[in-house]
Chains A and B, each alone.
Chain A
C-alpha cells in the first residue's frame, strides 16, 4: 500500500465501479418481482337512474413494498375519468381489502385525485387482494379486483447497497491502517495547533496555582463529540496529575459525570498518584442547558481558572462561556464539531479545534499507533470524496455544456453511487 492515499485513488475507483455492477445486477433482477395484476372478475354495480354515476378507477395494481420486513403493500391506480374533470362529481375513494379470499373490508377512505395507497397493516404469510371504489355523493363504483399478493420479507435493502459498500470501504480502510500501524509502521500526522498548546496551558495553570476547568460540552454520552472530549480528558488529566495541578469538571449529564470520574481516576492511577484523585473533581450540575451555563459562569468568576478547556458539543452557551472565561483572563482551548458555534470559539478563544480536528486530537494526543492509523483511514475517505467530486464536476460540466452523452452517463452513475434517495 502506498504511503499516501491520494496516490491510490485509481484502485479505489476501480473497486467502486466494480462493486457498482454488483449493485446494478441484483436490482434489475429484483425489479422483475411479482406484481398482482388486476383481474377481470370485477363486477361493476348497475346503478339506479337517480344516482350520480362515476367511472371506476383503472389499472389498479397491488404490489409488495420493496425492501421491508413484509409489512407493507403498495397500491397504485389511475384515478377515475370523472375525477379528472373539475365538476366535483367524485368526492373520494374507498379502498377495500380481502384477506385470504375472505369478506371485503373497507380499510381507508381517500381524498379525490389520490392515485395510490400504502397499506401498512398487512402480515406475512397471508394473501391480500384489493379493490377501490369511486365515490359520488350517493353512489359507489367498485373497480376490478387485483390478484392476491403476499407481502414479502427482504433480507437486504438493495436500495442502500451503495451505502453498505461505501461503509465497508471506509471501515475497511480504517481497520487496514490500524492494523498497519499496529505492525509498527510509522505514520505521519500533521500538527494540530490547539493541541500543541495543551502542554503550555497546563504548565501555566501550575505556575499560577489556579485550577484548570474542563467543560465536556452539554450533550450526553450518546454524542460522539462528548466521547472525543472524554478521550482528550484522559490525556489531559494524565498531564495534570504529572504537573500536580488541580482540575475541575462541572458536567450537565449524569452519565458524563460517571464516565468523567472513571476517566480521571484511571489517568491519576496511570500517573502513579491514585491518592490525589477524588470524586469532587467531577460534579453534576443540571441537565438544563442554561441552568448549567449559569452555574459554570458563576464557577468561572469565583474560582478564576487559569486554563479553560471547552471541548465537545456546544450550543448557544459557547459564547457565554468563552467570553466569561476571557474576562477572568484564562487561556482557552476550545473545540467542537458544531459548525454553528465554531465562529464564536474562533473569535473568543485562544486556540480552536475546528470540526474534525476535535476527533483527530484525541488520536494525536495519545500518540498510540492504533489511533494514528484510524486518522489515516479517515483520509482515505477524504480522498474518495475528492476524487468523486473531481470526476463528478468535470463530467457534469462537459456533459451539460456540450451535451456529451457518455459524460452524462458517468455523472448519472456517480450520482447513483453517492445518493440515497
Chain B
C-alpha cells in the first residue's frame, strides 16, 4: 500500500477506502456543523462514533508521516549513544497493559538501542501488572531479536517488588537488600552484571518508562536527585507537561507520548537502518493520532459555534 508522507496534500490519495472514509468523516462533521448553527446540541454518542471512525480508518488504510527528533528527545538518544559499550543501564518498566500502547514503543526502542550499543541492561518494574508485560517484552525483543545476549551477563530481569517508592528508597543504597535474587530466583551475587553494581550509584544511566505513580517523578525524587547518575525518561503524554520543570537539571531528556516515541524511533532508524524492519510502532501510530486530533479540533470549533449561536439567540429573546 502506498504510504503518503508529509508534504503531499491529502487530495492526492488514490486509495478508495481512504477517500470514502475521509469523505464520510467530512460529511458527518459538516452535518453536525449545520446542526450546531441551528443551536442544536449533539448527543455524546455521536461524538464517540466519530472518534471510533477517525481512529479505525487509518488503521485499516495506513497513513504515515515523517518525524524529526526534537531536542528534548534527542538528548536522551545522544546519551545512550555516547556511553561507552559495556555501560550499565537500568530500564524501569513502570507501566501496565492499559498504558502499554503508548509507552511500549519507547520501551522497545530503548531496549533495542541499549543492546545494539552493547550496554548491560537491568530491567525492573514497580508495577505488579508490569511484570507480566516485562516478561513478554523480554521474550519478544531481547531473547527474540538478540539470541546471543546472555541472561545475567548482558541483561537481567529483576521483576517486580511491592512497595512503590520504598523499593527505590532501598535500591538507591543497596540492590541486594530489595532484590536478593532476580525474577527467576537466581541470586544477584552469581550474576556477572551485578559484580560491580551495589546500588543505583554504580549505574551509568537510568531510564524510567512510565506514566503513573510510581513513575518518573518518584525516580527523580528518590533516586535521581540523590545519586549522581544521569536520568532519562519516557512517559505517557499525560504526565509529560508536569515533568518539564525537572528538565534539563534533574532529567536529561524526556520522551512524551507516542510522538516522543516516534521521534526516538526516527533517530534510531537513522543510526541503525537495519532496525527499521523490526517495526516502528510509534511512527505507525501517528496516522490515527493525526486524524483523531483533527476530529477533536473540529469538535472544539463546532462546540464553540453552537455555544455562540445559542447565546445570541438567548440575548435576542
Say how far A136's CB is from chain B's closest CB, in angstroms.
Answer: 18
Pick the interface stretch among B16-24, B29-37, B63-71, B191-199: B191-199
A120 and B175 CA atoms in complex are apart in Å by 12
Q: Which residues of chain B are within 8 angstroms of A113 by Cβ–Cβ distance? A: 84
One of B98, B201, B242 near A340 (C-beta < 8 A):
B242
- Chain B 205-243, CB-CB to A under 8 Å as 1, else 0, gives 000000011000000000001001000000000110110
A339 and B242 CA atoms in complex are apart in Å by 7
B241, A339: Cβ atoms under 8 Å?
A: yes
Say how far A329's CB is from chain B's closest CB, in angstroms.
Answer: 13
Confirm or deny: B281 has a beta carbon within 8 angstroms of a beta carbon on chain A: no
Say how far B168's CB is from chain A's closest CB, in angstroms.
Answer: 13
Say how far A161's CB is from chain B's closest CB, in angstroms.
Answer: 16
Say how far A353's CB is from chain B's closest CB, in angstroms.
Answer: 17
A315 and B211 CA atoms in complex are apart in Å by 9
Confirm or deny: B202 has a beta carbon within 8 angstroms of a beta carbon on chain A: yes
Confirm or deny: A219 has a beta carbon within 8 angstroms of a beta carbon on chain B: yes
B241, A219: Cβ atoms under 8 Å?
A: no
Known: A111-B84, A111-B86. Is A340-B198 also a contact (CB below 8 A)?
no
B202 to A, closest residue via Cβ: A118
Chain B CB within 10 Å — which of A110, A111, A118, A315 has the most?
A315
Q: Which residues of chain B are within 8 angstroms of A111 by Cβ–Cβ distance? A: 84, 86
Confirm or deny: A105 has a beta carbon within 8 angstroms of a beta carbon on chain B: no
A315, B212: Cβ atoms under 8 Å?
A: yes
Say how far A394's CB is from chain B's closest CB, in angstroms.
Answer: 21
Chain B CB within 10 Å — which of A113, A118, A121 has the most?
A118
Known: A108-B195, A420-B225. Is A316-B98 also a contact (CB below 8 A)?
yes
- Chain B 127-169, CB-CB to A under 8 Å as 1, else 0, gives 0010000000000000000000000000000000000100000
A110 to B, closest residue via Cβ: B196
Confirm or deny: B317 has a beta carbon within 8 angstroms of a beta carbon on chain A: no
Confirm or deny: A17 has a beta carbon within 8 angstroms of a beta carbon on chain B: no
- Chain A 217-231, CB-CB to B under 8 Å as 1, else 0, gives 001001000000000
- Per the 8 Å Cβ criterion, residues 99-117 of A in contact with B are 108-111, 113
A121 and B195 CA atoms in complex are apart in Å by 12
Confirm or deny: B278 has a beta carbon within 8 angstroms of a beta carbon on chain A: no
B212, A316: Cβ atoms under 8 Å?
A: yes
- Per the 8 Å Cβ criterion, residues 236-278 of B in contact with A are 238-239, 241-242
B213, A315: Cβ atoms under 8 Å?
A: yes
Confirm or deny: B316 has a beta carbon within 8 angstroms of a beta carbon on chain A: no
Confirm or deny: A327 has a beta carbon within 8 angstroms of a beta carbon on chain B: yes
Q: Which residues of chain B are within 8 angstroms of A339 by Cβ–Cβ distance? A: 241-242
A318 to B, closest residue via Cβ: B238
A289 and B242 CA atoms in complex are apart in Å by 21
- Per the 8 Å Cβ criterion, residues 276-301 of A in contact with B are 288-290
Say how far B2's CB is from chain A's closest CB, in angstroms.
Answer: 36
A219, B213: Cβ atoms under 8 Å?
A: yes
A120, B199: Cβ atoms under 8 Å?
A: yes
B225, A421: Cβ atoms under 8 Å?
A: yes
Q: Which residues of chain B are within 8 angstroms of A289 by Cβ–Cβ distance? A: 96, 98, 212
Q: Which residues of chain B are within 8 angstroms of A407 by Cβ–Cβ distance? A: none
Q: Which residues of chain A are within 8 angstroms of B199 by Cβ–Cβ distance? A: 120
B201, A118: Cβ atoms under 8 Å?
A: yes
Confirm or deny: B44 has a beta carbon within 8 angstroms of a beta carbon on chain A: yes
Say how far B199's CB is from chain A's closest CB, in angstroms.
Answer: 7
Say how far A392's CB is from chain B's closest CB, in angstroms.
Answer: 15
Confirm or deny: A322 has a beta carbon within 8 angstroms of a beta carbon on chain B: no
A127 and B139 CA atoms in complex are apart in Å by 47
A118 and B229 CA atoms in complex are apart in Å by 14
A108, B242: Cβ atoms under 8 Å?
A: no
Say how far A248's CB is from chain B's closest CB, in angstroms.
Answer: 25
B165 to A, closest residue via Cβ: A222
Say how far B22's CB is from chain A's closest CB, in angstroms.
Answer: 27
Say how far A243's CB is from chain B's closest CB, in angstroms.
Answer: 32
Confirm or deny: A313 has a beta carbon within 8 angstroms of a beta carbon on chain B: yes
Q: Which residues of chain A are within 8 angstroms of B225 by Cβ–Cβ distance? A: 420-421
- Chain B 51-89, CB-CB to A under 8 Å as 1, else 0, gives 000000000000000000000000000000000101000
B239, A108: Cβ atoms under 8 Å?
A: no
Q: Which residues of chain A are within 8 angstroms of B212 by Cβ–Cβ distance? A: 289, 315-316
Q: Which residues of chain B are within 8 angstroms of A219 by Cβ–Cβ distance? A: 213
Say how far A405's CB is from chain B's closest CB, in angstroms.
Answer: 24
Known: A118-B202, A316-B98, A421-B225. Is A340-B238 also a contact (CB below 8 A)?
yes
B198, A108: Cβ atoms under 8 Å?
A: no
A315 and B195 CA atoms in complex are apart in Å by 39
Say how far A301's CB is from chain B's closest CB, in angstroms.
Answer: 13
Q: Which residues of chain A are within 8 angstroms of B195 by Cβ–Cβ distance? A: 108-109
A421 and B250 CA atoms in complex are apart in Å by 10
A111 and B201 CA atoms in complex are apart in Å by 17
Chain A CB within 10 Å — which of B86, B228, B242 has the most?
B242
A313, B213: Cβ atoms under 8 Å?
A: yes
- Per the 8 Å Cβ criterion, residues 129-188 of A in contact with B are none
Say how far B132's CB is from chain A's closest CB, in angstroms.
Answer: 13
Write 27 A-B pairs (CB below 8 A) sorted by A numbering.
Answer: A108-B196, A109-B195, A109-B196, A110-B196, A111-B84, A118-B202, A120-B198, A120-B199, A120-B201, A121-B198, A222-B164, A288-B129, A289-B98, A289-B212, A313-B213, A315-B212, A315-B213, A316-B98, A316-B212, A316-B238, A327-B44, A339-B242, A340-B238, A340-B239, A340-B242, A420-B225, A421-B228
Chain A residues packing against B (C-beta within 8 Å): 108-111, 113, 118, 120-121, 219, 222, 288-290, 313, 315-316, 327, 339-341, 420-421
- Given A289-B96, A315-B213, list of 9 further CB < 8 A pairs? A110-B196, A111-B84, A111-B86, A121-B198, A313-B213, A316-B238, A339-B241, A340-B241, A421-B225
Q: Which 10 pairs between the two chains have the least Cβ-Cβ distance?
A: A339-B242, A120-B198, A340-B239, A340-B238, A315-B212, A340-B242, A108-B196, A290-B98, A111-B86, A118-B201
